[in-house]
Amino acid sequence: MVGTGQILRGRFIQERRLQGFGKPLLSEGRFTLAPGQGLIWQLEHPFASLLAIGPHGLTQRVGDNETLRLNVAQLPFLDTLRQVFESALSGSSTGLNALFIVHQEADVMELTPRPSTMQVEWRIQRLRVRLGRFVDEVEIWKENGDADLLHFREQVLQDSPLEKEEQALLSAAGS
Amino acid sequence: MEWGEGGSRFAGAMGRSVGVLWLWLLLLVGIWGYAGWHWWNGFPVETDLSSLLPTEEQDPWRKIAKDAVLKEISSRITLLVGHEDGASARAAAQRLRQALEQTGMIVPDLPAPETAKELASLYFPHRNSLLSDADRRALLDKREERPLVARTLGQLFGLAGTVDSRLLAQDPFFLLPSFLLHLPTPSRRLTRVAGELQTTGEGKTWILVSGKLTGSPYATAFQQPFMTAWTTATTEAKQHWPSVQFLRMGAIFYAQAGTEQAIGDSSRIAGVSLLLTVLLFVVTFRGLQPLLFSLFAIANGLAAGFVVCLILFDHLHAVVLLLGSTLIGVAVDYSLFYFTQSFSTRAAPAARLAKTQVGLLLGMLTTLLGYACLAVSPFPGLYQAALFSMAGLLASFLTVVILFPRWDRTPLQTMPSFLLFLVEWLARPWVDKAPARRRLLVGTLLLLALAGVGRFAVDDDIRRQQQPSPLLQEEQKRVQQLTGWGQTTQFFLVEGKDDEEALQRQESLADRLFQMVADGVLESWFGTARFVPSRHRQEENRQLVSARLGSAGLAALHEQTGLTFVLPPTPPHYLTLDHLFAAGTIPLLRETRLQDPDTGRIGHLIFLVGLQQVESLRRGTEGLEGVRFVDPSADFSTLLGRYRERALVLLSLAVLLTMPMLIGRYGWRQGLRAMLPPLTSCVLTPFLLALVGIPFSFFSAIALVLVFSAGIDYTVFCAEAGYPDPPMLAGVCLAALTALFSFGLLAWSQTAAMQAFGGAMFIGVVIALLLAPAAMGTPRSRDA
What are residue B28's phi and psi, to 5 degrees? -65, -40
Tens of pLDDT, residue by residue over B541-566, are 999 999 889 888 899 888 888 888 88
Chain A closest-CA separation from residue B74 CA (Å): 27
Query: A73–B189: do the CB atoms touch at under 8 Å?
Result: yes
Nearest to B329 by CA among B774, B762, B39: B762
Q: Are residues A65 and B166, on separate chains, in Cβ contact within 8 Å? A: no
Residues 64 through 83 of chain A touching chain B, CB cutoff 8 Å: 65, 67-68, 73-77
The whole-number average pLDDT for the span B166-171 is 87
When pLDDT is averaged across residues B6-34 and rounded to a whole number, the result is 78
Of residues A10 and B643, more confidently modeled: A10
Q: How confident is the model over B715-730, as pLDDT tens digits?
A: 988 888 767 788 889 9
User: Which of A18, A46, A51 minimises the CB distance to B168?
Assistant: A18
Residues 6 or more apart whose CB falls under 8 angstroms from that of B520 comprise B612, B613
Whether residues B677 and B615 fall in one domain: no
B672 and B659 within one domain: yes
Which chain A residues are within 8 Å of B146, Cβ to Cβ? 65
Condensed to tens digits (0 to 9), the pLDDT of residues B463-496 reads: 666 667 888 889 988 988 888 776 678 899 999 9
Provide mean pLDDT across the span B260-272.
76
Q: Is B189 on the interface with A (CB under 8 A)?
A: yes
Say how many CA atoms lie within 13 Å of A17 toward its Cβ: 11
**What CA–CA distance (Å, rounded) separates A172 from A57?**
8
Interface check for B288 against chain A (CB to CB < 8 A): the answer is no
Query: Is the same domain home to B589 and B646?
Result: no
For residue A74, the model assigns a pLDDT of 62
Judged by a CB distance cut-off of 8 A, whether residue A115 touches chain B is: no
Least Cα separation, residue B523 to chain A (angstroms): 12
B142 and chain A: CB distance < 8 Å anywhere? no
Residue A2 lies in a domain: no
Q: Are B606 and B509 in contact (CB under 8 A)?
A: yes
Q: Which domain holds residue A168?
A: 7-172
| From A20, A43, A47, residue closest to B560, measured CB to CB | A47
Shortest CA distance from B135: residue in chain A:
A67
**Does some domain include residue B555?**
yes
- Spatial distance between the Cα atoms of B3 and B11, rounded to a whole number of angstroms: 12
pLDDT above 90 (res B247): yes
Task: Write down the pLDDT at residue B326.
Answer: 65
Query: Within this chain, do residues B601 and B685 fall inside the same structural domain, yes or no?
Result: no
| Alpha carbon distance B747, B762 (integer Å) | 7
B239-267 average pLDDT score:
84
Residue B540 predicted with pLDDT over 80: yes
pLDDT computed for residue B362 by the predictor: 83
Interval B241-260 mean pLDDT: 88
* Residue B682: partners with Cβ closer than 8 Å, 6 or more residues away: B651, B704, B707, B708, B711, B764
pLDDT digits (tens, 9 = 90+) for B372-423: 877 776 667 678 888 888 999 999 999 999 999 888 888 888 999 999 999 9
DSSP state of B188: S
Whether B585 and B649 share a structural domain:
no
Mean pLDDT of B173-177: 91
pLDDT tens-digit readout, B652-699: 888 888 888 888 888 888 889 889 999 999 999 999 999 999 999 988
Inter-chain contact B561–A85, Cβ cutoff 8 Å? no
| pLDDT tens, residue by residue, B312-354 | 887 777 667 666 666 777 788 889 999 999 998 888 888 888 8
- Please report the pLDDT score of residue A119 as a whole number: 47
The pLDDT assigned to B75 comes to: 86
Q: Is the pLDDT of residue B128 over 80?
A: yes
Chain A residues closer than 8 Å to B563 by CB? 21-23, 25
Note whether B560 contacts A41, CB cutoff 8 Å.
no
Q: Which residues contact A140 (CB under 8 A, 6 or more apart)?
A: A124, A127, A147, A148, A149, A150, B160, B161
According to the model, what pLDDT value does residue B782 have?
46
> Do B594 and B696 share a domain, yes or no?
no
pLDDT band at B7 (very low <50, low <70, confident <90, very high): low
Q: Which of B615, B631, B647 is the last residue of a domain?
A: B631
A116 chain-B contacts, CB cut-off 8 A = 194
Q: How many domains does chain A have?
A: 1
We report the CATH number of the domain holding residue A23 as: 2.50.20.10
- Tell whether B158 is within 8 A of chain A (Cβ): yes
Q: What mean pLDDT do residues B244-271 have?
A: 82
Are both B741 and B716 inside the same structural domain? yes
CA distance B492 to B324: 39
Is B707 among the domain residues? yes
SS3 A104: strand
Determine whether the interchain pair A144/B151 forms a contact, defined as Cβ–Cβ distance below 8 Å. no
Amino acid A103 reads H
Lowest-confidence segment of B264-273, B633-642, B731-740 by average pLDDT: B264-273
In a domain, B117, yes or no: yes
**Residues B417-438: what's their mean pLDDT?**
88
Please tell me which of the candidates A51, A119, A150 has its beta carbon nearest to residue B191.
Answer: A119
For residue B545, tell me if it sits in a domain.
yes
For residue B686, CA distances in Å to B456, B695, B697, B737, B762 come to: 8, 8, 9, 21, 12
On whether residue B350 sits in a domain, the answer given is no
Q: What is the CATH number of the domain that holds B731?
A: 1.20.1640.10
Q: Looking at CA atoms only, how far is residue A87 from chain B in angstroms?
A: 14
**A62–B192 C-beta distance less than 8 A:** no
Q: Which pLDDT value is given to residue B661?
A: 83
Chain A hits for B523, CB-CB cut-off 8 Å, are: none
Is the same domain home to B563 and B672? no
Does the beta-carbon distance from A67 to B157 stay under 8 Å?
no
Contact B164 A146 (CB under 8 A): yes
| Percent of chain B's residues with pLDDT above 70 | 90
Confidence of residue B733 (pLDDT cuts 50, 70, 90): very high
- Is residue A142 scored above 70 in pLDDT? yes
How do strand B45-46 and strand B316-317 relate by DSSP bridges?
parallel
> Would you give the DSSP letter of residue B547?
I
Is residue B599 domain-shared with residue B735, that is, in the same domain? no
Q: Chain A within 8 Å of B566 (Cβ-Cβ)?
A: no
**Nearest-by-CA chain A residue for B150:** A62
Residue B411 is assigned to a structural domain of this protein: no
- The answer to whether residues B725 and B746 belong to one domain is yes
Q: What is the pLDDT of residue B430?
A: 87
Flag whether A1 is in a domain.
no
Domain boundaries, position B177: 60-76+112-196+480-631
Q: Which residues of B touch A146 (CB under 8 A)?
A: 163-165
Average pLDDT, chain B: 85
Give which of A27, A33, A39, A67 to mutate to test B binding, by max B Cβ within 10 Å: A67
Domain finish residue from B594, B613, B631:
B631
Contact between residue B281 and residue B343 where contact means Cβ atoms under 8 Å apart: no
Bridge partners of residue A17, in order along the sequence: A147
Q: Across the A/B interface, how many CB contacts are shorter than 8 Å? A: 95
CB contact under 8 A, A19 and B192: no
- CA dihedral B36→B37→B41→B45, nearest 10 degrees, is -60
Residue A175 touches chain B, beta carbons under 8 Å: no
Q: Residue A46: is the preceding peptide bond cis (ω within 30°)?
A: yes
The more confident residue out of B9 and A85 is A85
Are the C-beta atoms of B728 and B348 separated by less than 8 Å? no
Work out the mean pLDDT of chain A and round it to a whole number: 83
A144 in B contact zone (CB under 8 Å) = yes
Encode pLDDT of B588-602 as tens digits.
788 889 998 888 899
Reported as a pLDDT band with limits 50, 70 and 90, residue B58 is low
Which runs of consecutive H residues, i.e. helices, occur in B325-416? Answer: 327-339, 349-375, 380-398, 404-407
Q: Nearest by CB to B154, which of A60, A74, A144?
A: A60
Angle subtended by helix axes B133-140 and B146-156, to nearest 10: 130
pLDDT in tens, B204-222: 999 999 888 998 887 777 8
Contacts with B484 from chain A: Cβ below 8 Å: 73
* Domain final position from B610, B631, B652: B631
Residue A44 lies in a domain: yes
How many structural domains compose chain B? 2
Interface membership of A140 toward B (CB under 8 Å) = yes
Q: Is B154 on the interface with A (CB under 8 A)?
A: yes
Confidence label for B161 from pLDDT (cuts 50, 70 and 90) = low
- Choose the closest CB to B165 out of A14, A20, A67: A20
B441 shares its domain with B490? no
Q: Same domain, yes or no, for B490 and B626? A: yes
Q: Using a CB–CB cutoff of 8 Å, tell me whether A149 touches chain B.
A: no
